[in-house]
Amino acid sequence: MPVKILTVVGARPQFIKAAAVSRAIRETDGLAEVMIHTGQHFDANMSDLFFDELAIPKPKHHLDINGGGHGDMTGRMLMAIEPILLAEKPDWVVVYGDTNSTLAGSLAAAKLHIPVAHVEAGLRSFNRRMPEELNRIVTDHLSTLHLCPTATAIANLASEGVVKGVHHVGDVMYDATVFALEKAEVSSTILADLQLQPKQYALATVHRAENTGDPERLREVVQFLLEQSRGRTVVLPLHPRTRGAAARLGVSLEGLRVIDPVGYLDMAKLLHHATEVFTDSGGLQKEAYFHRVRCVTLRDETEWTETVTNGWNRLWKGPPHVARNEITDYGRGRAAFEIAELLKDRAPSPAAG
∠ CA 151-155-161, nearest 5°, is 145
Q: What is the pLDDT of residues 152-203, one digit of tens each?
A: 999 999 999 999 999 999 999 999 898 889 999 999 999 999 999 999 999 9
Q: State the number of CA atoms in the 13 A half-sphere of 302 facing the CB.
A: 25
Q: Are 200 and 274 in contact (CB under 8 A)?
A: no
Q: What is the pLDDT of residues 299-349, one digit of tens each?
A: 999 989 999 999 999 999 999 999 999 999 999 899 999 999 999 987 665
Query: Which band of pLDDT confidence, cut at 50, 70 and 90, is reported for residue 351?
Result: very low
Single out the residue of 337, 287, 41, 95 nearest to residue 180, CA to CA: 287
* Percent of the chain residues topping a pLDDT of 90: 81
Question: Is 353's pLDDT higher than 70?
Answer: no
Give the mean model confidence (pLDDT) for residues 88-106: 97
∠ CA 137-59-331, nearest 5°, is 50
Instruction: Select which of 37, 207, 239, 291 is catalytic.
Output: 207
**CA 231 – CA 24 distance, rounded (Å):** 44
For the purposes of burial, counting CB atoms within 10 Å of the CB of 292, is it exposed (0-12), middle (13-18) or buried (19 or more)? exposed
Query: Which domains does the chain possess?
Result: 3-171+332-345 (3.40.50.2000), 177-329 (3.40.50.2000)
What local confidence, expressed as pLDDT, does residue 76 receive? 97
Q: What is the pLDDT of residues 131-156, one digit of tens each?
A: 999 999 999 999 999 999 999 999 99
What local confidence, expressed as pLDDT, does residue 2 receive? 94
Q: Indicate the Cα dihedral angle 197, 201, 207, 213, nearest 10°.
A: -140
Runs of H (alpha helix) within 165-300? 172-187, 190-194, 209-212, 215-228, 240-249, 264-272, 282-290
207 assigned to active site: yes
Single out the residue of 8, 170, 174 nearest to residue 80, CA to CA: 8
Residue 81 is given by DSSP the state: H
In the three-class reduction of DSSP (H, G, I as helix; E, B as strand; rest coil), residue 218 is classed as: helix
pTM above 0.75, yes or no: yes
Q: What is the pLDDT of residues 105-129, one digit of tens each?
A: 999 999 999 999 999 999 999 999 8
Question: Is 243's pLDDT higher than 50?
Answer: yes
Give the mean model confidence (pLDDT) for residues 88-99: 97
